[in-house]
Structure 1
Amino acid sequence: MENSLTFFQVLSIAISALAFATAFWLYRWVSSQPSSNAKVAEVGQLIRSGANTFLAKEYKTLIRFCLIASLLILVFLPSPIWKDNVLDNVVMAIAYIAGTVFSAIAGKIGISIATIANIKSAEAATKGIKPSFMAGYRGGAVMGMAVVGSSLFGISLVLLLTGNTTALLGFSFGASSLALFAKAGGGIFTKTADVSADLAGKVEMGIPEDDPRNPAVIADNVGDNVGDVAGMGADLFDSNVASMAAALVMAASLGNPEKNIAMVLCYAAIGLLASIIGVFTANMKEGGDPTRALNTNTYVTTAIYGILTAIATYVFDFNWRIWAASAIGLLVGVIIGIATDYFTNDNKKPVRAVAKACESGPAFTITSGVSYGLISTLPAMVGIGISALAAYKIVAPIGAGGNEVAYGMFGISMAAVGMLSIVGMIISNDAYGPIVDNARGLVEMGDLGDKALEITDSLDSAGNTVKAITKGFSIGAAGLTVIALLGAFMTEVNDAIAAMGLNIEKITGFDVTNPTVFFGLLAGAAIPPVFSAMLMLGVDRNAQRMLAEIHRQFKEIAGLKEGEPGVKPEYDKCIEIATAGALKELIPAGLVAIIATLIVGFVGGVHAVGGFITGNIVSGLVFALFMSNAGGLWDNTKKYIEAGNHGGKNSEAHKAGVVGDTVGDPFKDTAGPSINTQITVVSLVASLTATLFLTLSIF
């Protein structure tokens, strides 16, 4: 079977190479689309320059953190370096650095293509909806192929070179730690600019969303790229790597480990192949519905994955129970996406009810939006619970005779792999959103006409709806992934107990009536709200600084407010404020989560950490779902009113809707999606430091 395992490792690398080739072809196709409007090119270059400047400064800040972290890993992980296992620590440190580098590259590729595709999509809108859609979608697909290709390539390469599944946790921690700060930093930047631009422009002055008179408008478009493209790419890269790493760690600890590992790699490779096929079959007729086109792509890719994995299971004699767990994960992911769509789509009751409440003022906008956001957590939480329970129960019997728990947790990890199997398509759809959002702004600032504006409005609306679905999907996948990481933590602890010859009973679960476990449970549950508050306060402080700068410019630059010819705002001032504030705020929130994990571990040991992870998972999922869905609901409520309902633009209902959207912005694009990564980071830190907690805890 060892030769067979090598075959699947090489196959995974080969399909990753095919994904890179696909990304390159798509990049060339998007770049070759015609664009000749000087005004659009000028604004597009401002956005590109601002995004690259922020990314360079952010990565410079994060390099310092990553170097310190890699040094600590070299000295202490997987166990202190002075205990004669120097090579293991060196491998772990190198794997960590590789994870950060791959994650950073994913973000950079996303920025590079998004700031080209936005221009191409904007100018294509003058010819029709189909060419504009294809430019935006294929731009997003470059990101999808590059991110998933990188994650599968990195995991396969680390496993092929080291043969050490624990090193995969180091690689995953590198991806997660960079993603945590990239998502937090990008989220603070983008929502600082978005909130400021909306409040100063729409509420105070009653001017359009992307009016070039608004000093924050370029920073807002830059933010779409650094937050929703680079940050999101790093986030989903992290989730995909973490799900595979958790599954592989558990696969290696079970009977017939080579075949188990081969199955994980095979399913992940088929998922990427299905996404490649899905991207090439994606199309839309002139006059068609972009939302339907995007969702159809997802369903087609899902079907291809299900069929190909069933064929592979038969051909390679994999266990059908594990295939069923993977299929359940994918199916529940689609169902969670549909449930999210119900609460965020402006064709459904919740958005329309909140829009109606806007007529009574912003207080009712907030109250109703919060209420629907809280209700929206139930379907996804139950879905995650059902998929975890079903996967556990289906796979556990394989380990009959004393190994049911280990196999059951492996089943959950395979459900996570299944849910993230089509992540290439999910990222393509997600990255499409900010690209066409930018395109809409470029159409307005470039005066490309009402028809082009109508087309990009339609594409942008589809992007918002699909983005809400993909966020629900990614949060659901994060939920299963971190449950799988809890299983990986148990595996690492039990392996350490055996390796160190400790006279301690192996862990099969965590009893919440145990006061040590309960202490960890409460501490873990408190971290997501504190983490979220720190990020949103960062947006709040930064947005207040930017609003003051916008007011200064309108007051001091003669003719700016009136839109006199040749008078331009100082866009760079707002970009500088957003950049400085984001870099200042991004590190502390992430460090709180990491340091809290270490404190709980050194105080209460592995049982307290098990409780800590569990509390963090449950609390984190509720907060992430609530904030992402409430934010998406408020965003589409505002757009529904702007489409001419309940008084339309500049009405009192519209102003209330904008207030709701400014509350929802840091919910859905800063704190909500960052919690996914925070939970993953906590789980990985716990797994990597399990040996230390076994030997160095107070209780």
Structure 2
Amino acid sequence: MSGLQLTELATVSAAPGTAEVAGSDLTYVVVVAVIALAALGVAAALVRQVLAADEGTESMKRIAGAVQEGAAAYLTRQFRTLGLFAVGVFFLLMLLPADGWDERIGRSLFFLVGAVFSAITGYTGMWLAVRSNVRVAAAARAGGSGPEASHTAMRIAFRTGGVAGMFTVGLGLFGAALVVIIYREDAPKVLEGFGFGAALLAMFMRVGGGIFTKAADVGADLVGKVEQGIPEDDPRNAATIADNVGDNVGDCAGMAADLFESYAVTLVAALILGKAAFGDAGLVFPLLVPAIGVITAVIGIYAVSPRAGDRSGMTAINRGFFLSAVISLVLVGIAAFAYLPDKFSELEGLAPTTTTGKEILEHGGDPRVFALVAVLIGIVLAAVIQQLTGYFTETSRRPVKDVVKTSLTGPATVILSGISLGLESAVYAAVLIGVAVYGAYLLGGGIIMLALFAVALAGTGLLTTVGVIVAMDTFGPVSDNAQGIAEMSGDVEGEGAQILTDLDAVGNTTKAITKGIAIATAVLAATALYGSYRDAVETAQAEVGASATEGMSKLEALSFSLDISQPNNLFGLILGAAVVFLFSGLAINAVSRAAGAVVFEVREQFRTRPGIMDGTETPEYGRVVDICTRDSLRELATPGLLAVLAPISVGFALGIAPLAAFLAGAIGAGTLMAVFLANSGGAWDNAKKTIEDGTYGGKGTDAHAATVIGDTVGDPFKDTAGPAINPLLKVMNLVALLIAPAVVKLTIGENASGPLRALVAVLAIVVIIGAVWFSKRKSIAVGSPNHEPKDAHPVGG
């Protein structure tokens, strides 16, 4: 498709006087904002319930206090570092094209709002998690062997996650509604800034927290379990406090921020496309769907209350999740039939003079059915992904059992079986997500704008369950920390210890499930943003004028042609896939370096302080926390620069169409890579748990050592690189969306400037190369200058 053809498809958003939110529509948006604030009130009630529980013994309180101190110190330093970066981006956004300075200022201001809301969501999840973990351990200890102890411990852990879930839906929905209330028909441009702020900060928190937690975890496992033969959370292990801190800054803060930005970015895409496809209603209905999700999230969270007949903790969690999903669908159906007209021709705010507007107004379907089916696609996708991920990662299912069996033949076969499991499961997950996207395309009846809006609505449908999803994710690290505190204190034994072990195994599965749902959300959001990118390009071309495109050279015309057979587009697609691989490699490499430093430090403490092993000396936990903090913050820059500058370099160097292909390549490769990394890591982790529960001789056996090594490989897979791909996709799509008008105007029209485009592209490429070179020059090897290989401890020693 040529630039001229794209201009002929001038979108609704380019037409003047369209989609103004006023009257009853504005009232709906205000009600949505009130519901969002009510979610924060529910969060406050949940906080009081969690904090009312007993904290256990003095020893347990002391250990929990150390974890709280370390987590707060890390996030404070991280936010201080990221604050400077956010201020810089604030001013850069002011330079990008917009319809007047009010939009530019609003976009930059709400960039900061999105970043701050993402930070608040992550920090709140972490703040309560580090106070809940000791209460979960105390509940298991106090209840003895009775089933009520397990039920109480699980309720505390899950309602802790519910607080993070309520902040996610509350702040995300309130921010989007506030933009619509203030900016009305101009909201889409400002929403780009809100989504970008949420996504960018979440990516940094995901990468930084992931490096911290997995560096500590890998170091604790390799030296403690494999070399010294002591339990993972043994107080003699200097890395154990850092490991527990990492669970909170990585899984709680990082994942909460990640799902918040998924929520925010999906709303942004839905509102941008909704304006173009549904006119006035398109800026209201996408807010009604997640508002319903707030109500059903409360029901789902309180529904997760274990019963005597439940097979496991997952039974109660599944009950809450599916109840939330079913109620969401029913209420969305009621909202669609109550709010939307029964004919597309009755939609207000669409301009029939434009090609897209005319097509939509002449569409013979029913907007209410269209919206309901689109949301249904997203809800069903969440449910199926939940079951698929559970199948590949639960301890009771065949895939994990097969990985456990391979432990009898050593770590190599454990790793091979986990990799094959991850690769296979990625295919099924990708096909499911692809079917959902294709179903939305068919729903659009051949009208691209409607199809893309259907994808965005499917994303909002999936996120009606996000409150429960965040609770499921936070449940994992809270349970893990509870078991760690119990083991370090030595105050929880027998049935109480088994309760915590069982909760930890369920937590591993819930973390894997939420990662699967998060990548599905990321793909739907990125696909919808892909459509928003197309809309932005067409709008910019319409502003430049068709006469400008008529005089394009053949090379310039190619840069606007969406034909994938064009070599420049194929090049862009390959680059998009390559960035996902490079980003993942950098993240895993960062964990490898930081974990190496932790391994050396823990070994040195065991070697130079022999009293640690017999309990007469206490390890220096703070040294390992400092190493993880320093290294994780140092490693943030390169992945962040790659995510922001890669689309800039492709867009300004190759043009609009190759940048679109770049995004497509990143979405395709990112979907497969993220699921592969998450499910391989989850399976390895639960295989280790199965061995530790007594299979094949339990702890201290060769089978146990093999699964520990598999788990250490999987740690950066599932908790660093894999989850970070989610915000990566959305950051790159949002950057492309933000720069699209500038690329168009520097390519065609009276302000076209080839040298300026080339200069921007070259600068971006130079910075990327410099950042990668700087990262790679850091040695993998660790240790003091005098440390020789002979000093290393042999495996099993």
Q: What interval of TM-score do these two structures reach, taking the shorter chain for normalisation? A: over 0.9
- Whether the aligned pair in 1 keeps the contact of 2:180 and 2:283 (CA below 8 Å) is no
- Whether the aligned pair in 2 keeps the contact of 1:524 and 1:613 (CA below 8 Å) is yes
1:113-170, Cα deviation, whole Å (9 max, x unpaired): 1011111111011211011111111111111101111100111111211222111011
Aligned to 1:123: 138
Residues 1:93 and 2:108 are matched in the alignment: yes
Paired residue secondary structure (1:210): coil
Distance 1:214 1:696 in 2: 58
Residues 1:322 and 2:365 are matched in the alignment: no
Deviation at 1:85, TM superposition (A): 2.7
Residues 1:512 and 2:553 are matched in the alignment: no
Aligned to 1:671: 721
- Whether the aligned pair in 2 keeps the contact of 1:4 and 1:262 (CA below 8 Å) is no
* Structure 2 letter corresponding to 1:414: L
1:402-440, Cα deviation, whole Å (9 max, x unpaired): xx1111111111111111221011001111110111011
Aligned to 1:175: 198
Residues 1:462 and 2:495 are matched in the alignment: no
Distance 1:620 1:321 in 2: 29
Aligned to 1:613: 663
Aligned to 2:604: 552
- Whether the aligned pair in 2 keeps the contact of 1:196 and 1:216 (CA below 8 Å) is yes
Distance 1:228 1:384 in 2: 24
Aligned to 1:224: 247
Distance 2:454 2:309 in 1: 44
Which segments of 5 or more consecutive residues in structure 2 lack a partner in the other structure?
Answer: 1-20, 144-148, 342-367, 551-556, 748-753, 758-797
- Whether the aligned pair in 1 keeps the contact of 2:56 and 2:137 (CA below 8 Å) is no
* Aligned residue-pair number: 685
Percent identity of equivalent pairs = 38
Q: 1:139 aligns with which of 160, 166, 171?
A: 160
* Structure 2 letter corresponding to 1:151: G
Q: 1:453 aligns with which of 476, 497, 512?
A: 497
* Structure 2 letter corresponding to 1:320: V
Paired residue secondary structure (1:431): helix
Paired residue secondary structure (1:456): helix
- Whether the aligned pair in 2 keeps the contact of 1:597 and 1:609 (CA below 8 Å) is yes
- Whether the aligned pair in 2 keeps the contact of 1:489 and 1:687 (CA below 8 Å) is yes
- Whether the aligned pair in 2 keeps the contact of 1:66 and 1:97 (CA below 8 Å) is yes
Which segments of 5 or more consecutive residues in structure 1 lack a partner in the other structure?
Answer: 398-403
Paired residue secondary structure (2:255): helix
Distance 1:35 1:388 in 2: 47
- Whether the aligned pair in 1 keeps the contact of 2:56 and 2:134 (CA below 8 Å) is no
1:578-597, Cα deviation, whole Å (9 max, x unpaired): 00000000121121121111
- Whether the aligned pair in 2 keeps the contact of 1:130 and 1:287 (CA below 8 Å) is no
Aligned to 2:90: 70
Aligned to 2:284: 262
- Whether the aligned pair in 1 keeps the contact of 2:35 and 2:294 (CA below 8 Å) is yes
Aligned to 2:445: 396
- Whether the aligned pair in 2 keeps the contact of 1:247 and 1:264 (CA below 8 Å) is yes
- Whether the aligned pair in 1 keeps the contact of 2:211 and 2:720 (CA below 8 Å) is yes
Distance 1:142 1:556 in 2: 44
Distance 2:303 2:741 in 1: 48
Q: 2:68 aligns with which of 19, 35, 48?
A: 48
Aligned to 2:296: 274
Aligned to 1:301: 324
Residues 1:646 and 2:696 are matched in the alignment: yes
1:20-61, Cα deviation, whole Å (9 max, x unpaired): 010000001111112241001000000000000000000111
Greater mean alpha carbon deviation, residues 578-587 or residues 472-481: 472-481
Q: In structure 2, do the counterparts of structure 1 residues 311 and 508 end up closer, same or farther at CA, with 3 Å as the change threshold?
A: farther
Distance 2:97 2:219 in 1: 45
TM-score by length of 2: 0.84
Q: 1:105 aligns with which of 87, 103, 120?
A: 120
Aligned to 2:595: 543
Aligned to 1:156: 177
Deviation at 1:499, TM superposition (A): 2.5
Paired residue secondary structure (1:421): helix
1:462-490, Cα deviation, whole Å (9 max, x unpaired): 11112111111111111111111100111
Aligned to 1:443: 486
Distance 1:561 1:693 in 2: 63
Aligned to 2:528: 484
Q: 1:624 aligns with which of 674, 677, 684?
A: 674
Q: Choose 1 or 2 for highest CA Rg.
A: 2
Deviation at 1:603, TM superposition (A): 0.9
1:621-668, Cα deviation, whole Å (9 max, x unpaired): 111010001000111111111111123111111101000000000000
Deviation at 1:377, TM superposition (A): 0.8
Deviation at 1:516, TM superposition (A): 2.4
Residues 1:500 and 2:544 are matched in the alignment: yes
1:268-309, Cα deviation, whole Å (9 max, x unpaired): 111121111212232113584211111111001001101111
Distance 2:189 2:541 in 1: 15
Paired residue secondary structure (1:669): helix
Query: What does residue range 555-574 of structure 1 map to in structure 2 within 5 Å?
Result: 555-564=607-616, 567-574=617-624
Deviation at 1:341, TM superposition (A): 1.1
Residues 1:283 and 2:305 are matched in the alignment: yes
Distance 1:695 1:247 in 2: 26
TM-score by length of 1: 0.96
Q: In structure 2, do the counterparts of structure 1 residues 90 and 176 end up closer, same or farther at CA, with 3 Å as the change threshold?
A: same
* Structure 2 letter corresponding to 1:265: L
Q: In structure 2, do the counterparts of structure 1 residues 647 and 687 end up closer, same or farther at CA, with 3 Å as the change threshold?
A: same
Greater mean alpha carbon deviation, residues 221-230 or residues 505-514: 505-514
Deviation at 1:509, TM superposition (A): 8.6
Q: In structure 2, do the counterparts of structure 1 residues 36 and 335 end up closer, same or farther at CA, with 3 Å as the change threshold?
A: closer
Query: What does residue range 189-228 of structure 1 map to in structure 2 within 5 Å?
Result: 189-228=212-251
Distance 1:492 1:428 in 2: 36
Distance 1:24 1:373 in 2: 39
